[in-house]
Amino acid sequence: MNSVKQALVGIKGEVFVVDNNSIDHSVEMVAAKFPEYHLIANKDNRGFSKANNQAIELSKGEYVLLLNPDTVVEEDTFKKVIAFMDGHPDAGGLGVRMIDGKGKFLPESKRGLPTPAVAFYKIFGLSRLFPKSKRFGHYHLGHLSEFETNEIEILSGAFMLMRKDALNKVGLLDEAFFMYGEDIDLSYRITKGGYKNYYFPETRIIHYKGESTKKSSVNYVFVFYRAMVIFAEKHFSQKNARLFSFIINFAVYLRAGMAIVARFIKRIILPLVDILIIVVGLFALTNRWKVKEIEFSFELLKYAIPIYTVVWFISILFNGGYDFPTKLKRFVTGAFVGTIVILVGYALIPKDWQFSRLFILLGAIWVVFYYILSRFFLHFSVKGKFRMFNTKTKRYAIVGSKDEVFRVHDILKQTTRDIELVEYLSINEKESWSVGTLNQLDQLVHIHEINEIVFCAKDTSAHKIIEWMLRIDSNEVDFKIAQPDSLFLIGSNSIETAGDLYVLNVNAISKSDNVRNKRTLDVLVSLILLICSPLIVWTFQHKKQFLKNSLAVLVGKKTLVGYHPSPALVGLTLPKIKSGLVYPMEEIVTVDPAISSKINLIYARDYSVRKDMAIILKTWKKLDGFN
């Protein structure tokens, strides 16, 4: 929104922000930081088409631009696209050159009409195999240069500039499309109405794509391709629509099935290999005993060894052994806890079923040895997420004015570990606090081996940011943008993640091990509460509500400890958790909401199961609340 504000300087325009009932307090942020914008806050999620139509119907300009909120435009973007449209009266719509958060060109900047043949080539991978082919690569018009202006068929809804007269003639977005496909439909109708759509690469935008839905998710496959079916049924002949629908539906279930199977295999293959090798190793240990003329009963072994293996595996799992990055101490801790559980169980079983405590101890040593050995093998052979040692320290370059650079550095110090180096660059002239200027950024990256660059948007133009993102090798360097007066830095490098976000280190509560531990605590405590309810329910004022709350926690609809219900700090979005039965520091309920909001921040930043237990013990009498 800051880049939009800067790009509108000298242009008579109006900005509409439509919110589809989001829960991240973005409405409050927009109202506070951009009071001059027209804010439409819907009470439900009306989808992309309806939300945009609300704003289009209220707009008064000669041109209408649909712009995703996860974009950054250059300062002269609007001037350039308006000039092009003024000079081309046949143009009904226009799209621009889009790059992602790593500075790489997004092929959906220019697209062809998804006819049955084009859809077939895309769905079955031919467009990926032959991206430059005029026939097979037609979906993304791979035969057209990304640097040349061309007439195209389909525009991207992320940046879709349209002539208002064209919209008056062909109609607005079709609200039958909830998400995806509406830009294809409207682009096609614009061309059917006698206008042309253009791809205009003379200006660029950053599009941090992929946050609405993950492209690899099963949900995305169904939603996206269902939109294609709606489009075909609307615009193609009955025969072609049926063919298209058959191809799409076949592809949807094929890809959805493959995605589910692939995800399952990907997640289960390593644990299965671990369990199998541990079992084989434990049976090999029993053969060692046989050499010493100590023979175990096979009837005992066929039950005992699998049980021991499962106990060690579960213990290591819950101690973070399968979380990344890999840490060897998790395997040692998990094996130790599992061994204690096994020994306790061993002491309780009948004497006839006991065969050797020494075997259990040697088995634990084997488990630890195997995990350490296998993870070292994965570390050196596969690397990536299996990397055990964080050898890549952060080496930053921060670009901006003195005040902004120091403010960003403070955020980095509070949110990031392993900072090896931070260098400052001023914008135009070298100053006493900086090592150089923005024009020397490439030299700084090379000499000091910088691996992360932070641009202060308050001082650095979007044009310059995009220029440098395209100029520097994005395989070696990550890019972040610090918005003015904000508590966070943004820079999405992958559609498989929620984006890189440095926010005063509030993400402890969203770490995989803490998510798992919090859920485990919820299940155990709610089970205990329900089992003991005949005895303890009488201590609560709202007995029925207590039982409902306990059951809701058990099935995962609620959590025992949640955020205090208060507005979030402007510019700060906390990691999402379920609504809680109790909150940290419940006694602040009548205090200034800003204080309770900060308490939520501290709770998220410093989360631990121990703290949850302490909160529950202090506030257990409020577990019958109507939250």
User: What is the reported pTM?
Assistant: 0.68
Specify the range with the lowest mean pLDDT, choosing from 59-73, 80-94, 501-515.
501-515
Q: CA-CA distance, 535 to 2, in Å (whole number)?
A: 58
Q: Quick check: 382 pLDDT over 70?
A: yes
Q: What is the CA radius of gyration of the chain?
A: 29
The fraction of the chain above a pLDDT of 70, given in percent, is 86
In Å, how far are 396, 538, 550 from 623, measured between CA atoms? Answer: 47, 13, 8
Four-CA torsion 236, 242, 243, 246, nearest 10 degrees: 130
Q: For residue 33, with 0-12 CB atoms within 10 Å meaning exposed, 13-18 middle and 19 or more buried, which class applies?
A: middle
Average pLDDT over residues 533-542: 91
* E-only strand ranges, 100-195: 150-152, 159-163
Is residue 74 within 8 A of residue 462, CB to CB? The reply is: yes
Q: CA-CA distance, 334 to 370, in Å (whole number)?
A: 13
* Per-residue three-class SS string for 251-262: HHHHHHHHHHHH
Q: How much is the pLDDT for 379?
A: 87
According to DSSP, residue 389 is labeled S
Average pLDDT over residues 320-348: 90
Q: What share of the chain is helix, strand, coil (3-state, %, to 5)?
A: 50, 15, 35
With CA atoms as reference, report the closest residue to 605 among 503, 504, 506, 502: 506
Q: Read off the pLDDT of residues 431-480 as tens digits, 9 standing for 90 and up.
A: 999 999 999 999 999 899 898 999 999 999 888 998 898 888 777 788 88
pLDDT grade for 151, boundaries at 50, 70 and 90: very high
Per the structure block, which two tokens stand in for 177? 């499309």
Average pLDDT over residues 63-73: 92
Q: Which residue has the tokens 């042309």?
A: 196
Is residue 213 within 8 A of residue 106, CB to CB? The reply is: no
Average pLDDT over residues 133-160: 94
- b/e per residue 227-256 (b: at least 16 CB within 10 A): bbbbbbeebbeeeebebbbebbeebbeebb
According to DSSP, residue 472 is labeled S
Q: How much is the pLDDT for 287?
A: 73
Q: How many CB atoms lie within 10 A of CB 119?
A: 23
Q: Quick check: 497 pLDDT over 80?
A: no
The answer for residues whose C-beta is within 8 angstroms of residue 394's C-beta and 6 or more apart is 416, 418, 419, 420, 421, 451, 452
Q: How much is the pLDDT for 32?
A: 83
* Helices 238-291 and 218-235, axial angle in degrees (round to 10): 170
The fraction of the chain above a pLDDT of 90, given in percent, is 46
Q: How much is the pLDDT for 391?
A: 57
Average pLDDT over residues 367-378: 94
Per the structure block, which two tokens stand in for 262? 């692939």
Q: How much is the pLDDT for 397?
A: 95
Q: What domains, with CATH codes, occur in the chain?
A: 2-110+146-209 (3.90.550.10), 266-386 (no CATH), 394-505 (3.40.50), 508-622 (no CATH)
Q: How many CB atoms lie within 10 A of CB 536?
A: 15
Specify the range with the lowest mean pLDDT, choosing from 69-78, 282-291, 299-308, 395-404.
282-291
Residue type for 586, please?
E
Q: Read off the pLDDT of residues 201-255 as tens digits, 9 standing for 90 and up.
A: 999 999 986 444 445 455 566 666 667 777 777 777 777 777 777 777 777 677 7
Q: How much is the pLDDT for 384?
A: 65
Q: CA-CA distance, 299 to 417, in Å (whole number)?
A: 52
Q: Quick check: 411 pLDDT over 90?
A: no
According to DSSP, residue 567 is labeled P
Q: Which residues pair with 454 in a beta bridge?
A: 398, 480
Q: Quick check: 181 pLDDT over 90?
A: no
Q: Quick check: 571 pLDDT over 60?
A: no
Q: How many CB atoms lie within 10 A of CB 112?
A: 20
Q: CA-CA distance, 276 to 24, in Å (whole number)?
A: 45
* E-only strand ranges, 128-207: 150-152, 159-163, 196-207
Q: CA-CA distance, 330 to 334, in Å (whole number)?
A: 6
